[in-house]
Structures are given as C-alpha cells and as structure tokens.
Amino acid sequence: MLPGFARPLLIPGLLALLLATVAVALNAGTIDIDWSALGGDGAAPTALLQLRLPRIVLAVLIGAVLAQTGAVAQALFRNPLAEPGLIGVSAGAALAAALVHTALTGFASRLALPASLVLPVAAFAGGLAAAAIVLRLARRDGQTDMTTLLLAGTAINAFVAALVGLLSARADDAGLRGFTLWMYGNLGRAGWNEIAIAAPVLLAVALWLPREARGLDALLLGDTEAAHLGLDVERLKRRLLVAVVLATGASVSLAGVIGFVGLVVPHAIRLLAGPGHRLLLPASALLGALLLTLADTVARTAAAPAEWPVGALTSALGAPFFLALLLRMRSRIGLP
C-alpha cells in the first residue's frame, strides 16, 4: 500500500508511464520510422499511421475499459474473482464469431456491410444477446439477484462453449484458423473505420464509470446498507451492468477475447491505493491501457514477422496472478 503522501502521485505516474509506453510502441517494429519524413510517401508513414497507431489507440481504449469494468464487476458481485466475461458477453461474441468463420462465410459476403465490419458487428450482437439472456434470467420480482446472475452467466458460458466446439468440429482449415486467432485476441484486425464506430461507446463508458464511484463504494457494504445511504440500488445495478455489457461487447467485437486484464489490474491498484473507487477506477484505466499496449507491442515484435496473440500474453500474466489470489483467499472461502 502506498503511503498517504504518495497516493496523489499515482495517477500522474501511471499517465507518464502510459505515454512512455505509447512512445515505445510507436517506434517498435520491423520498419524504422523516420519522423522527419512522415509527410511523404513510403512504407514508414503507412506503417505508423495505418498499422501501429490504430493498434495503439485500440489497446489504450480496450485496456482501460476492460480494467474498469473488471473493477465494477468485482464490486457488483462482491467477489474479487469476478471479471466482465462472467456475464456471458465474451461467450456470446465467440459464438457469433464462430458462426461467421464457419457456417456463415457465404452469407456474410451478401450482407450490406463492408467485409471488415461483418465480424465485429456479428460479435457485438452475439455478446449483447448472450448478456441479455443472462440478465433476464437473473431478474425476479423487479430485482436483479447477483448470485443468480453469476450462476446464469456460468451456465450460458458453458453452453456456448459447447456450441462453439461443435461449430469448430465442422469448420474447414481456413475458418478454424481464423476463429482460433480471433479467440486468443488480436489488435491488428481493426482499422480506423472500426475504431471510429466503437470508440464513442468505449470512451463514454470509461469517462462515465468514475462518476459512479460513490455508489460502487456503497455496494461493497451490501445492498441494504447502500439503500440506507440513499441509493436506488436496483437502478444503480442496472446502469452499471448495461455499461459493462456495452463496453465488453465493443471490446471483444474489435479485438477478440483478451483475458485477465479485468481481473489483474483492479487488484494491482487495490494493493497500491486501497479499495476506494474514486481512485481505483481512473488508476485501473491507466494501468489497463498501459499493460495492454505493452503486451501488444511485445506480441507484434518479439517474433517478427510472425505475431503472437495478445490474449495469450495477457492470460500468461493473469493466470499465475489468479492462482496466487486464490491461494491467498482459500481460508476465507473454505478451501483446505
């Protein structure tokens, strides 16, 4: 835990580190950038403006939103192991992506959408549909039961995983490879057109969630205590869940499934600054953006000209952290 005098420096420090990481990412790659010649033609300006910069913008947006929605999910469920994917968004998006890559390749070509937008639109719609089913199952007598929501999300995730497995079994080699690469996350598929469509959603959620810091702090005390503090608990839950669903759906539709950012980052910030959401949410956004930008830079440069899936790198970081957290909590949750 940071001492009290150092906590005001957390946000500026993370911002400085993020800007430094962005600068490294802009310069890292197989093509050297001559900054004095960016106004002309050639491979360097194209590499910077059409390849690297969109990836960096996407990494910053998605990393920030996944980290924030992870913190929100942990407060909503009052469970430190919660993450946005528990609501079923990622699973629904994966099923839609599997359909596009396997069963609907011919149909996709006949849609009135540019080819590059077919997969993101389908994945976003699939994520929203799965989340809508989970949220509906959790509603009872006008209330959203978070335990039922968690269990329903787990069931939908398992069911959708089975459907994805069946679709994968009938896919051809090209479809299976494309879907597998999508499942492990990749920030290189989305260009400026896709970012322009999704960025308003991601930015709106990222800027709005810190305004709910007081309500999230109250939810940690319990629904009854939060109501005694004057909050409309049910409306607050609905707002937060809609924000989580929209932001996660937009992120997954553009970059595929990127795991553990929403789990790891909020806990890292809590270890530094405590559980208060007024600082937790903006600090998580900056650290999430920093980590995903760094992971994507490593993914596209470590084995160049080949590229590693960025979701695999974030999972390689997150899985050990998850196990360490589970071991730390085992006495609290009754494990031997």
What are 131-176's pLDDT values in tens digits?
A: 999 999 988 877 888 888 889 999 998 998 898 888 877 777 777 7
In single-letter form, the type of residue at position 213 comes to A
Which pLDDT does position 133 carry in this prediction? 93
Q: What does the alpha-carbon distance between residue 321 and residue 319 come to, in Å, rounded to a whole number? A: 5
Confidence of residue 105 (pLDDT cuts 50, 70, 90): low
Q: What is the DSSP string of 106-129?
A: HHHTTSSS-HHHHHHHHHHHHHHH
The CATH number given to whatever domain includes residue 263 is 1.10.3470.10
- Which whole number is the average pLDDT over 216-245? 91
Which position has the higher pLDDT, 112 or 179? 179
pLDDT score, position 218: 93
Distance CA(248)–CA(242), nearest Å, equals: 10
Specify the pLDDT at position 223: 87
Q: Which position has the token pair 């607050």?
A: 236
Q: What is the mean pLDDT of residues 292-309?
A: 88
Q: Is the pLDDT reported for residue 122 higher than 50?
A: yes
Task: Compare 38 and 297 and report the one with higher pLDDT.
Answer: 297
Domain assignment of residue 34, yes or no = no
The tokens 């006008």 sit on which residue? 142
What per-residue confidence (pLDDT) applies to 36? Answer: 62
The amino acid that residue 180 corresponds to is: T
Query: What does the pLDDT average to over 18-37?
Result: 82
In a domain, 24, yes or no: no
- 23 within domain boundaries: no
Average pLDDT over residues 30-58: 74
Angle in degrees, CA 313, 57, 67, rounded to 5: 55
Residues 6+ apart with CB under 8 A from 169: none
User: What pLDDT shows up at residue 317?
Assistant: 79
- Does residue 72 have a pLDDT over 50? yes
Average pLDDT rounded to a whole number, residues 25-53: 73
**Residue 306 pLDDT > 90:** no
335 band by pLDDT with thresholds 50, 70 and 90? very low
Residue 45 lies in a domain: no
**pLDDT (tens digit, 9 = 90+) per residue, 75-103?**
999 888 788 888 889 889 888 888 887 76
**Residue 310 — pLDDT band, cuts 50, 70, 90?**
very high
105 or 246, higher pLDDT: 246
pLDDT, position 114: 61
Asked whether residue 136 is domain-assigned, the answer is yes
C-alpha span between 71 and 78 (Å, rounded) = 10
Domain count, the chain: 1
> Could you tell me if 88 and 157 are in contact, meaning their C-beta atoms sit under 8 angstroms apart?
yes
DSSP reduced 3-state for 139: strand
- Residue of 321, 315, 301 lying closest to 32 (CA atoms): 301
Task: Establish if 172 belongs to a structural domain.
Answer: yes
Task: For residue 90, tell me if it sits in a domain.
Answer: yes
Which residues form the domain of 226? 52-320
Contact 121, 83 (CB under 8 A): no
60: in domain: yes
Tally of CB atoms within 10 A around 160: 22
**Tokens standing for residue 204:** 């709106």
Answer whether 262's CB lies under 8 Å from 62's CB: no
> What is the predicted pLDDT for the residue at 74?
93
Q: How many CB atoms lie within 10 A of CB 227?
A: 14
